[in-house]
Amino acid sequence: MRLYKTELFKLFYNKIFKIGILAVTGLILLYFCFAEVGGEIATVDGKFYSGYEAVQINRKITKEFEGDLTDEKVNQIIEKYGLPAKIEENMPGWRDGNFLNDFVTEYFTNGAWENGVLPTEKYSLEETELGKFYDEIGKTPYLAYTRGWKVFVEILQFGLILGSILIICEVSTVFAQESQTKMLPLIFSTQEGRRKDVWAKIFASFTFTVFIFAWIVVVSLILCWMVYGLNGFNNISWIILSQYMRRPILFLKYLGILLGLAFQAFLSLCALTLCVSAYQSSSFGAVIIASICWGLPALIRIFFGGIIWIIVDSMPIFLIINVIINDIYEIWYIVLGISICFALGCLVKGLVFYKSKQFS
């Protein structure tokens, strides 16, 4: 336990961590404010709102219609707010819409701003994907302001990418630093060094990784809760029925798989980085090699397309990308198994090589 605490202290009191965690948190906040909150728009009674004000307006008007979704309620929304029809080049979404009539246009009409198609036909609930899915599960659709969950998924991905970089920079030094500072012979000359120090470093590294993951999730969740609220958790909304994933899926299940695979991605990255660190004799070299290993699957996917795609998609860099999660959703358990085997392989290989250094 003493060695574990010592290794943990070295990781958390490193200047790289202190600067890195502030940078990660600050960049998440900036992305949240400018890319997410700053991009929110709403048009109500002919008046245009944007940014934080638009978020509050969308929350307010949705509160009035919150509850079971029916054809009558859809008609009331159209009667009160109309259907959006304004599209601007290189600008996302309907420029004269709000949360409610955007939702109605998305699921109850043939309108699609992505293709420049104006809404000209309206469908009843039973004719829509939304209605058909709820008929299958025997429940009634529920309307709520779910923008908070959509933003959470988006900023979580951004935060996890930043967190991955921080893990590489920190964990890469765990074993490599001992070789660089010539401390390896001294460590292996003691009984504790031979039997316990290696495991202390490994457990401390994984503890550090879990902390980074939890920090990013909590920060992202708090930001979304404070600004958007977290309504609509139990219903399926356009967060799932998006351009990336058209099939209806209960959000609770989707979120569980998303967070589970992202958590495994961090553990797998930690194992990979420890393996690289064990093979390197300098911290700088370990960071560079670990970064290359982390990013290499992206190049493989670009240049080799579908070849061994399931293995490539099981790598840490892809398990935190929302689009990839949507692609592998039906076989997520296979991808998870491959990722776990990869992590264990890296950990064992690095451990065996590092311990063998005592004989060199």
Which pLDDT tens digit goes with each residue over 186-238?
A: 455 455 555 667 888 899 999 999 999 999 999 999 999 999 998 877 665 54
State how far the Cα of 40 lies from the Cα of 51, in Å rounded to an integer: 5
- Three-state DSSP state, 253: helix
Residue 190 is predicted with a pLDDT of 53
State how far the Cα of 34 lies from the Cα of 51, in Å rounded to an integer: 8
Q: What is the pLDDT of residues 17-42, one digit of tens each?
A: 999 999 999 999 999 999 999 999 99
| CB 322 within 8 Å of CB 248 | no
The closest of 60, 292, 34, 295 to 161, measured between CA atoms, is 295
State how far the Cα of 277 lies from the Cα of 279, in Å rounded to an integer: 5
Q: What is the pLDDT of residues 115-173, one digit of tens each?
A: 889 999 999 999 988 788 788 777 788 888 988 988 999 999 999 999 999 999 999 98
Average pLDDT of the residues in 63-69: 91
Residue 203 is predicted with a pLDDT of 94
The closest of 72, 221, 85 to 143, measured between CA atoms, is 72
Asked if residue 240 has pLDDT above 80, the reply is: no
Residue 115 is predicted with a pLDDT of 87
**Residues near 198 by beta carbon (within 8 Å), at least 6 away in sequence:** 351, 354, 355
> Strand pairing of 142-143 and 41-44?
unpaired
Span of 66-80, 127-141, 238-252 with lowest mean pLDDT: 238-252
Asked if residue 185 has pLDDT above 70, the reply is: no
Higher pLDDT, 334 or 281: 334
Residue 50 is predicted with a pLDDT of 94
Asked if residue 259 has pLDDT above 90, the reply is: yes
Asked if residue 182 has pLDDT above 70, the reply is: no
- Three-state DSSP state, 43: strand
pTM reported for the whole predicted model: 0.91
Q: Taking the domains of the chain in order of start, what are their residue ranges? A: 1-33+147-357, 67-143
Residue 359 is predicted with a pLDDT of 46
**Which residue has 């005592």 as its token pair?**
358
Asked if residue 72 has pLDDT above 80, the reply is: yes
Mean pLDDT score across all residues of the chain: 87
